Structure 1
């Protein structure tokens, strides 16, 4: 996961994350939005309004039971996405505030993903 800009990831990088279990791709949209639009493969859903509580307060075993992924350590690479980049930027800031050191943002979000998959 490396590009010139350390804060953001591109569509191509997101495409490569679906099979990369060392990076946690977190969609911070509401569950209803995911039902209406779909999800980026390999992502888990933690709505923005529960993100801080989830990352900070849920024990590892509960996190794994709910998301089928290991709870991230403070150095686990995290990538946040949403619809268009506003909530994922807020999520990125929350994670940094909590002490996560390897945090990036798919700023184009679902709209960028959808635009690319329509072309293929």
Structure 2
């Protein structure tokens, strides 16, 4: 099943210059250790890879980070990268699968059917002995991408509040346990401490190792240990909607087809807005 979602460095190296392949570095920094991912990309990237800036190709009408863009914004941005609806998109990240699942989720939510992640990211690429490039990459000719945004994939604050009040759908929080348990302050200023009432905690980094998801058996054991029913309808959340996609993708790998993402996540819920929280 993993082959439906990932490619190996060896596969990518063999197909890197295929006419229908576009490679994207979709790295985003964690709020706990911010750094300039685009600058890192310019210093080193997979040959011909372009930078997919998740904070820029986003809904800029609100002050929340990297919110899902409109169909028009997304279509224009990826079309300028030479991507159309038939392009095979390969996504990778610089940081242990932190941000590539979010980009994968964005592409799939926009109706892209041909998107996969490079297993192990750029580190696995280099470990395999393949070359990297520096500097800017000139995009190929502009193409037309027609986005069909799946609105049901992303939940807003009201929809999550309704789920909390109904208590029938499990909510899974991907933040580190100390933040979930209100034992550590949020890295984003002005946010309350705690979690969405009734939610369960599966820290995203429990699920990954060396830029790849752990085995299905290991994933099942981790979810079971955290009290998660891997087959139940689920909503994933985190600090800003980034690593929520890691948990969402892990559940998808295990066959769950009813997982949605709370796009605003704690960056929205944790504001001083009167929404219920639990410590």
Category of TM-score, reference length = shorter chain = 0.7 to 0.9
**Partner residue in 1 for 2:171:** 25
* TM norm structure 1: 0.74
Residue 96 of structure 1: which of 252, 255, 279 is its match? 252
How far 1:55 sits from its partner (Å)? 5.1
Contact 2:230 2:251 survives alignment (8 Å)? no
How far apart, CA to CA, are the structure 2 residues paired with 1:92 and 1:118? Answer: 27
**Partner residue in 1 for 2:229:** 71
CA shift in 2, pair 1:85/1:58, >3 Å: closer
* TM norm structure 2: 0.34
Contact 1:80 1:91 survives alignment (8 Å)? yes
Q: What secondary structure sits across from 1:117 in the alignment?
A: coil
How far apart, CA to CA, are the structure 2 residues paired with 1:8 and 1:25? Answer: 13
The total of aligned residue pairs comes to 109
How far apart, CA to CA, are the structure 1 residues paired with 2:271 and 2:154? Answer: 18
Correspondence 1:57 to 2:213: no
1:20-71 deviation per Cα after TM superposition (whole angstroms, max 9, x unaligned): 3431100010011121321111211111123466751269xx65xx54xx72
Contact 1:19 1:42 survives alignment (8 Å)? no
How far apart, CA to CA, are the structure 1 residues paired with 2:244 and 2:157? Answer: 15
How far apart, CA to CA, are the structure 2 residues paired with 1:10 and 1:83? Answer: 14
CA shift in 2, pair 1:19/1:113, >3 Å: same
How far apart, CA to CA, are the structure 1 residues paired with 2:199 and 2:252? Answer: 19
Where in structure 1 are there 5+ consecutive unaligned residues? none
How far apart, CA to CA, are the structure 2 residues paired with 1:112 and 1:78? Answer: 19
